[in-house]
Amino acid sequence: MTGRERVEAVIRLERPDKVPVAPLINEHAAKVLGVPLGDCFSNPELATRAALKCYEVYPGMDMAVGSPFGIAYLSPYVDAHSSWFFHWVLPQPGQDEVPQMLENLIISGEDYDLLMEKGLLYFLRPDRPQLNSFLQLFVSGATHFKPLADKIRELDLFVYAGSLINIPTDVLANLRGLQGYLTDFIDRPQKMREVCEWMVDDLIALGLQLVRQAGAGLSQHRPTVLLGANRASATYISPKMFEEVAWPFFYKEVMAIIEAGCVPVIHLDGNWTPMARYFRAFPPKICLYHLDDQNDIFQWKKILGDHSALMGNVPATLLAHGTVAEVDAYCRRVIEEVGEGGGLILANACAMPHDARIENVRAMIRATERYGAY
């Protein structure tokens, strides 16, 4: 089976020939090439070289490698990573630092009505990237990334994210700052729901338009839409708050992705284990849940394992600072317990850490070859 075929079989809760493995490599690619991240961040040619180098260093991957090109941070897209809306410190050439968001209070609780009246563009940062510069970089990237797209087709790999949709509460969290966002669940929950209702259809339309422009995700028959979610997790709010304020819009977005004929890849940062039962409301054998290491993937297997595929969740600390033996032992446990009967894609929790040890990433891939055959 090819990587794409393995992953698609897992999503259908069928058993592939072995457990698929997906080191989600973006910024880490710069380390693989041996250059500072800042050198790749605004250089699509070098970023492409870095991504292609990963296929030499890490054979056996089932998902496509991203590149350390920072176009998402420069894009006028409604996403937490966009420096058009949020205050990001980005690596410059010669710097080997990862991007860092400085959390600012962009709107007050009294500004929700102003937000709905004026729209998000009213709150663009005055020091945002220039549109002409972004467009030039985007066109240049499209040209340089062709060899990477060709490699993904050649290897027939699964594409993790053909597009992106945020849940409305995460957008509010970034606009309000964490403290303001959390107190709004007490002080103005009805206003939060009103703003989420105002926002959700546009977030859906934007994400689906992007996936239509991108086509069918290279070699895939059904494109993927990544739904990112963090600050509606139990790390921040109670399940009751989630149900009353966030869940209706989370549900609407996932169902819109499904109805559009796409695969929802639901990327869950923070502890969503107390909310896992809600996700049984979605149709079975169609969603893929990518869990970071704050989630108890073994408990998720008990709650959702007969319903949907799980992806995760080798901790970033283990990949960056653990030993090969420790990585192997953790991966073996996940494969044997969560992968029993199918439904597992072994992957790093969230994104691959920039400073992950190459030997540890190789150990994660080898673990599926040692322990993952069905």
- Of 171, 299, 278, nearest to 228 by C-alpha is 171
How far apart are the C-alpha atoms of 30 and 51, rounded to whole Å? 8
Q: Identify whether the C-beta of residue 277 lies closer than 8 Å to the C-beta of residue 242.
A: no
Which domains, from first to last, does the chain contain? 3-25+59-65+114-130+157-371 (3.20.20.210)
Q: Which amino acid is at 49?
A: R
pLDDT for 220 equals 62
pLDDT for 217 equals 43
What are φ and ψ of residue 237, in 5° steps? -135, 165
Sheet of 263-268, strands arranged across: 21-22, 344-348, 309-314, 288-291, 263-268, 224-229, 164-166
pLDDT along the chain (374 residues), means of 10: 97 97 96 97 95 97 94 88 93 95 92 96 91 86 88 95 94 95 97 98 93 60 92 97 98 97 96 98 98 97 97 96 98 97 96 96 98 96
How far apart are the C-alpha atoms of 334 and 298, rounded to whole Å? 8
pLDDT for 55 equals 97
pLDDT for 133 equals 85
pLDDT for 214 equals 63
pLDDT for 216 equals 46
- The count of C-alpha atoms lying within 13 angstroms of the C-alpha of 335, restricted to the half-sphere facing its C-beta, is 23
Q: Identify whether the C-beta of residue 153 lies closer than 8 Å to the C-beta of residue 64.
A: no
List the beta bridge partners of residue 227.
Answer: 165, 266
Q: Which amino acid is at 314?
A: V
pLDDT for 212 equals 80
What are φ and ψ of residue 163, in 5° steps? -165, 180
How far apart are the C-alpha atoms of 69 and 42, rounded to whole Å? 6
What are φ and ψ of residue 313, in 5° steps? -135, 65
pTM of the model: 0.95
Q: What does the block give as tokens for 226?
A: 């990544």
SS (H, E, C) 115-167: HHHHCHHHHCCCCCCCHHHHHHHHHHHHHHCHHHHHHHHHHCCECCCCCEEEC
